[in-house]
Structure 1
Amino acid sequence: MKKIFLSTFLACFSMVAFAQDFQFKTTIDLEATPVISQGRTGTCWSFSASSFLESEIIRLTGKQIDISEMYNVRNTYPKKAWNYVMRQGKAQFSEGGLAHDVMNAVKSHGLVPNSAYSGLQTLQQNHNHAEMVAVLKAMLDAYIKNPAKKLSPNWKRTIASVLDIYLGKRPESFVYEGKTYTPQSFLEMTKINPDDYVTITSFTHQPYYESFILNIPDNFSNGSFYNVTLDELVAVTENALKTGYTVELDCDVSEASFSAKYAVATIPETPVANRKSFTAKILKEKSVSARYRQQEFENYTTTDDHLMHITGMATDQNGNKYFRVKNSWGSNTARVPNDGHVHMSEAFFRLKTISVMVHKDALPKALRQKLKL
């Protein structure tokens, strides 16, 4: 079921005045589940992609389901560990990942609701993976050093046991709304097909309209990205939202002009000194070309440090367009305007987006033909 919630009387046509000079009017607001927090973990990739899948489930079935982010995390860590060991430690082993890692986990292990697998132990209220990751990495480094001169055949089972201790054992079956499911039958119920989703990017060091493996630290699974022009990357995202599809976003949020507190992300023409200064008024933004975008990527100014979920669009009082982006850092309605979303300008999107993931049906027809999809 596709639904575009175009500005309603109470929420979307109303002008929302924030503590700074920005005033936003929502123009597209697609159905999404409530904002939640990833806690003290580096698992934004699972929280954002899971949120994206939750919106897809709403679109496909009309059901609002809180799916388990930690089930996807639990099923991804063994793959990270394998990659790290087989590369003899010459690879990254961290909490990071990408949206396609969630799709890979869903394809191989299905889906479960959060009620069946929360990833939290008894009395634990928030996610914190610092100790778990430290333990896992220390174990993997010991295996790589190979003091016994022969890698133990049980190392994968040992890593799995540690994951089970910290996150819990994965359910083989569970009851949801009075019916018993397995992870695979639950996936079938949601009508999600992981093969229906594609990742789109835009860089000049690779040919356009071909797929390639993007060499960024968190792409441990060597996922492929379709390369399009920068204008087409923007068009893909807008077309998806306008036709009822939300968008998964991988981007850089390290800029001083990204403020979760004030719910704004822009690229001012004149660099800002801190996150508060650029929210005092609407500033003229930089013109972002493909060349400038590539330059910032190659000099490490733009990195893949955060994933979020685009659920709509908005305009400010000057008519400038923004993407409405759902974050996973929780919400605090007492601290206006932080409701867990950020208004991201087109300039910020053009410069700081690493990639987007969308349902292939959300692509403009002409672009699908170019990509042979």
Structure 2
Amino acid sequence: MNYKHLILTAGLAVSSVCAFSQDNLVNSLKDNKTATRKEKFKFTEVINLENTSIKNQGSSGTCWSYSTNSFLESEMIKAGKKPVNLAELYTARCAYIEKGKNYVRMHGAVSLGDGGELHDVINMYRKYGAMPLEQYTGLNYGTTTNKFGELGAMMEGMLKATVQNPNGKLTPNWLTAYTSAIDSYLGQVPESFEYQGKKYTPQTFAQQVVGLNPDDYVEFSSFTDHPYYKKFTLLVPDNWSFDQVYNLQLDDVTNCIDNALKNGYTVAWATDVSEKSFSWVNGVAFVPETPYELMTSEDKKTMFDGPKPEMVITPEVREKAFDDYTTTDDHGMHIVGLAKDQNGKEYYIVKNSWGPSNDYKGYLYVTKAFVRYKTTAFLLNKKALPADILKKTGI
């Protein structure tokens, strides 16, 4: 996710998969917070699946890692295991190594940055295993929260210098130098570590403690210009690994999410959060019936003053938003439940990684229309899929 948002405020830090400027996002949040709106929405939980504590990704573009590791923690709970707080920056560190290799092999013709995709977490789990947060915090240079500006600039500078090939022939040393630079910021990965009195490597920890099968997880999106129920390459900048996802019809998106939640499975979710109708502070996201730019000043002021009518989201409306860059691949979060407002409209309960500083202590309520409109991808356990989707995709 090539995120547009970067914020660092007391108790809240948001970033690029998360590349608006810091000031732009702060101002955006202030625009939406004209007054406290929590009392205007009356939410009743329908499903609220167990999940681990709210985390804070700090000033880093690692929402993809936080959201999908949170998803894996809930998968442990679903499997009857005691969840582990997984080391999000161990996953990110491994992905940055692989992204660097890919960048050099492609002679620099792919995106850089610290963003990524939901499937990156599964791919790194499969190849590199996992670590508990207590053994790999990624805070290796005196900060108490992630702060990746210098690290990102260092990675970009080294990789660009490498592909310029100043020696006329690439040496193998660039990878050692690049890896060492990342490890100097995030910390070296130990060959083994102790967890609850036993010794593990990242691979044995993934196998014996986390105990999840990476082959159980599948990713989906919805586009009109690809065959339905077939795989296609997700063409967003941060899909640096060129992974493929299954293409669903639009109604299938919410049907799959609903089926998962009703059967006790959570969902990792990639989306656009740049809309004025997405308010982190108020903890609500919806699609207003009248586009923001056509609203009166009074409508803008009262946008979160209780439930509002929404635009009807069709495949054509959704596709147009992708094509004109209204929808971009901004952010990764974790869908953990379902709720209804005072009018009976359904909202997904969404866990974020920006700390607990909004009206709902780190969670949001997101309408189904917003999910239909703004989802770039979602990932879930194949056991959570409806039978007809399994049959149509051949999963």
- State the TM-score bracket (shorter-chain normalisation): over 0.9
Residue in 2 that maps onto 1:340: 362
Whether the 8 Å contact between 1:260 and 1:338 is mirrored in structure 2 is no
Aligned residue in 1 for 2:60: 41
Residue 11 of structure 1 aligns with which residue?
none
Summarize the alignment of residues 217-366 of structure 1 with structure 2, pairs less than 5 Å apart: 217-272=237-292, 277-332=302-357, 337-366=359-388
Cα distance, 1:68 vs structure 2: 0.3
Partner amino acid, structure 2, of 1:348: F
The alpha carbon displacement at 1:367 in A equals 1.0
TM-superposed deviation, 1:122? 5.3
Alignment length (residue pairs): 354
Q: Is the 8 A contact 2:37 2:305 kept in 1?
A: no
Q: Who is 2:143 aligned against? A: 124
Amino acid across the alignment from 1:58: I
- In the TM superposition, what are the counterparts of 1:135-174 in structure 2 within 5 Å? 135-174=154-193
> 1:62 Cα shift?
2.8
- Alpha-carbon separation, structure 2, partners of 1:122 and 1:291: 48
1:195 alignment partner in structure 2: 215
The structural deviation recorded for 1:308 is: 0.3
Task: Encode CA deviations 1:183-226: one digit per residue, 9 max, x unaligned.
Answer: 11111122211111000111101000101111110101011110
Where does residue 78 of structure 1 map in the other structure? Answer: 97
CA distance in 1, matches of 2:201, 2:91: 15
* Unpaired stretches in structure 1, ≥5 consecutive residues: 1-16
Q: What is the letter of the counterpart of residue 259 of structure 2? A: N
C-alpha distance in 1, partners of 2:288/2:255? Answer: 22
**Letter aligned with residue 151 of structure 2:** M
| Aligned counterpart, 2:13 | none
Q: Write the distance in 2 (CA, Å) between the matches of 1:49 and 1:181.
A: 22
Q: Which amino acid aligns with 1:216?
A: V
Which residue identity does 1:324 align to in structure 2? I
Q: Secondary structure, in 3 states, of the residue corresponding to 1:135?
A: helix
Task: Return the offset for 1:161.
Answer: 0.4
Distance in 1 of aligned mates of 2:184 and 2:178:
10
Q: What is the CA-CA distance between 1:58 and the residue it aligns to?
A: 1.3
Confirm or deny that 1:110 pairs with 2:132. Answer: no
Q: Given that residues 325 and 342 in structure 1 are in contact (C-alpha distance below 8 angstroms), is that contact kept between their aligned partners in structure 2?
A: yes
* Code of the aligned partner of 2:370: F
Aligned-partner Cα distance in 2 for 1:124–1:281 = 39
Q: What's the offset of the Cα at 1:171?
A: 1.9
Identity across matched positions, percent: 43
Shift of residue 18, structure 1, vs aligned partner = 5.2
User: Does residue 186 of structure 1 match 2:205?
Assistant: yes
Distance in 1, Cα, partners of 2:307 & 2:119: 35
Question: What per-residue deviation string (whole Å, max 9, x for no partner) do you get for residues 135-163 of structure 1?
Answer: 11111111111222121220011111001
Shift of 1:338: 3.4
Q: CA deviation at 1:269?
A: 0.4
RMSD: 1.4
Tell me if the contact between 1:248 and 1:309 (Cα under 8 Å) persists in the aligned partners. yes
Q: Displacement, 1:182?
A: 1.4
The list of structure 1 runs, each at least 4 consecutive aligned residues, that deviate by more than 2 angstroms after superposition, is 17-20, 271-277
Shift of 1:90: 1.9
Aligned to 1:177: 196
SS at match of 1:204: coil
Q: State the AA in 2 paired with 1:355.
A: A
Shift of 1:88: 1.7
State the partner residue of 1:210. Answer: 230
Which of 29, 32, 57 in structure 1 is aligned with 2:51? 32
Letter in 2 for 1:242: K
Q: Distance in 2 between matches of 1:83 and 1:75?
A: 13
Which TM-score applies when normalising by structure 2?
0.87
The answer to whether residue 114 in structure 2 is matched with residue 89 in structure 1 is no
Of 110, 117, 131 in structure 2, the residue corresponding to residue 98 of structure 1 is 117
Match of residue 6 from structure 2: none
1:226, 1:371 within 8 Å by CA — same for their partners in 2? yes
Per-residue CA shift, 1:305-345, capped at 9, x if unaligned? Answer: 1000000010000000000000011012xx6x231111000
